[in-house]
Amino acid sequence: MTAQEQSCAFDQTSGVRKALDLVADKWTALIIMALAEDTKRYSELHRKIDGISQKMLTQTLRQLESNGLIRRKVYPVVPPMVEYSLTSLGKTLVEPLKALCRWASEHFHEVEVAIEQASIENTDPNEAA
């Protein structure tokens, strides 16, 4: 990252900051990764993404659609069938998110060790009794 790109990340009016705000939450990243596999219906996404509420899934899908990252296709059948897929723009986020997943696979155990170590260091010895 260049110095200019890095400084832009801290300016709330910059495109870099706005892009980070757009995709830097867990539900957005998980939905994009789920749709990177293939087109999915709402119920498939809900089953695939463990822990997401229906309300949060709906809100995040609407936001991603309005930001041009996913496409929502409604089929005129009864009951209505809706499918979600990544747009060309949404597909450009797949590789950066895969890189983050690789980093997590390779290094998250180090984060867990650091958390455990901090927990031990912050424990009051008088509380152990």
Give me the pLDDT at residue 22, please. Answer: 83
Helical (H) or strand (E) element with 70? strand 70-75
Record the pTM. 0.80
Check: CB of residue 32 under 8 Å from CB of residue 23.
yes
Q: Given this model, what pLDDT does residue 7 score? A: 65
Q: What is the pLDDT of residue 6?
A: 61
Residue bearing the bigger pLDDT, 36 or 12: 36
Residue 84 exposed, middle or buried by CB count within 10 Å (0-12, 13-18, 19+): buried
Q: What is the pLDDT confidence band of residue 88, given thresholds at 50, 70 and 90?
A: very high
**Token duo for residue 62:** 């609407």
How far apart are the two ends of the chain, measured CA to CA in Å? 50
Mind listing the pLDDT tens digit for each residue in 19-74?
888 888 889 999 999 999 999 999 999 999 999 999 999 999 999 999 999 999 99
3-state secondary structure of 85: strand
> What pLDDT is recorded for position 1?
62
Q: Is 11's pLDDT higher than 90?
A: no
Fold (topology level) of 3-123: Arc Repressor Mutant, subunit A (1.10.10)
